Structure 1
Amino acid sequence: MPQIVLASASPRRAELLAQIGVDFTVSPAHIDETPRRLESPTDYVIRMAREKALAIYREGDGVVIGADTSVVLGDRILGKPPSVEAAAAMLDLLSGSVHQVLTAVAVVCRGDCRVRLVTTDVSFRQLAPPEVAAYVATGEPMDKAGGYGIQGLGGVFVDRLQGSYSAVVGLPLEQTAELLADAGCPVWRGWNNNNVSKIDNGETQ
């Protein structure tokens, strides 16, 4: 099969990709992630995933995966908090409300870039100020869109989820597998090699 490259530095995306038995290398994309004026959250997330994949792809390189995740409340994109104060403010906004997590995954193969977008509704219970302060103090919110990690301590804030859990973590597995199959790299072909034993042993790439 062609070499597969993940154009992301996110350890969570790497863990998810390894979970489904994909053999890949990591080459993070460094692009300008500033939203354009009047750009909708949906268009922004799709553009980011596409640009990340294309930034790494070189003709004949095989297959490149790019992805982007944004937490959206109303029409407002909540990115990674720049400070502990911003993290606490984001969590206060999300407390007791329903927000959307938009995750786009792009796969480039032979110059053709295909993208899938997944929208997941996430409901937060009402958060008490002391637990928000305690959570922010752990440092977990600081590299997470929206200021929380559903796969970590922040999972206790979620009382309901409608959609894809893996997309909220950072990579929608069903859609990623579909795109890889379209690119000639069905994930099941790697299920009987060393990747499976790595997953069973709790190891990731």
Structure 2
Amino acid sequence: MRFVLASASPARLSVLRSAGIEPLVRVSGVDEDAVTRALPAPSPTEVVTALATAKADAVVAEIAHEVPDGVVVGCDSMLLTPDGEIVGKPGTAEVAAERWKRNAGSRGELITGHSIVRLRGGEVTGRADGHLGTTVRFGEPTDAELDAYLATGEPLHVAGGFTLEGFGGWFIEGVDGDPSSVLGISLPLTRKLLAEVGVSVTTLWNKPSA
């Protein structure tokens, strides 16, 4: 059985590898804006769950013949800011700077959605999805520190404009909840969703060579 990660995120890949799983990586290519626009007045949790589901489904459609027995895992994360706005990747340094200045010294909630599709014999035999929130406590970088962080390019392409495992970790005071979800894939939630489709996570772990 293969674990298929429907994401190009290096952080998600690193989390899985560190936790004993070497996934097959396939990028969904989903138009996230189009998926979000199609949702009627969605809550933040509905947005991340819908995006995770769309990504998993897109990869299932492409990979069922290649991986007839496996699980496809889609993920999405967004930040619920202190003023109630739900935001994804900043995209530009200007947007990232504005968000950091607004969030500095406060708390936000990173909301992560996961969707798992079980394949047997190339057919979908099970689905499970879920979400969780993790509180992120932002530090207060100086203007010079923020400029240097923006110059790395890192915050432009990650949910909420920050990371724990990269340069951004210097400016995060702490997290309350599951830290792996802040890295993009919650190990506890993934384990529970795998169980819902009849898969024990331990069967997916890398086996040591004899």
TM-score, normalised with respect to structure 1: 0.86
C-alpha displacement at 1:28, in angstroms? 0.8
Within-5 A mapping of 1:49-128: 49-58=52-61, 60=68, 62-73=70-81, 74-109=83-118, 110-128=124-142
Bigger shift: residues 162-171 or 180-189: 180-189
Instruction: Output the amino acid matched with 1:55.
Output: A
* Unaligned ranges ≥5, structure 1: 197-205
Instruction: Output the amino acid matched with 1:5.
Output: V
What residue in structure 2 maps to residue 181 of structure 1?
195
Q: 1:91 to 1:33 in 2, by over 3 A?
A: same
* Unaligned ranges ≥5, structure 2: 119-123
Identity rate, percent: 36
What residue in structure 1 maps to residue 121 of structure 2?
none
| Distance in 1 (alpha carbons) for counterparts of 2:42 and 2:205 | 40
What residue in structure 2 maps to residue 43 of structure 1?
46
Bigger shift: residues 181-190 or 129-138: 181-190
C-alpha displacement at 1:191, in angstroms? 4.2
Q: 1:192 to 1:15 in 2, by over 3 A?
A: closer
TM-score, normalised with respect to structure 2: 0.84
1:57 match: secondary structure: helix
Number of residues of Structure 1 aligned to a counterpart in Structure 2: 194
| Distance in 2 (alpha carbons) for counterparts of 1:4 and 1:117 | 19
1:49–1:68: 8 Å Cα contact kept in structure 2?
yes
Query: 1:13 aligned to 2:12?
Result: yes
Q: Find the partner of 1:132 among 134, 142, 146.
A: 146
- Calculate the aligned-residue CA RMSD, in Å: 1.9
C-alpha displacement at 1:86, in angstroms? 1.3
What residue in structure 2 maps to residue 199 of structure 1?
none
Instruction: Output the amino acid matched with 1:120.
Output: T
| Distance in 2 (alpha carbons) for counterparts of 1:61 and 1:186 | 14
Within-5 A mapping of 1:126-205: 126-191=140-205, 193-194=207-208
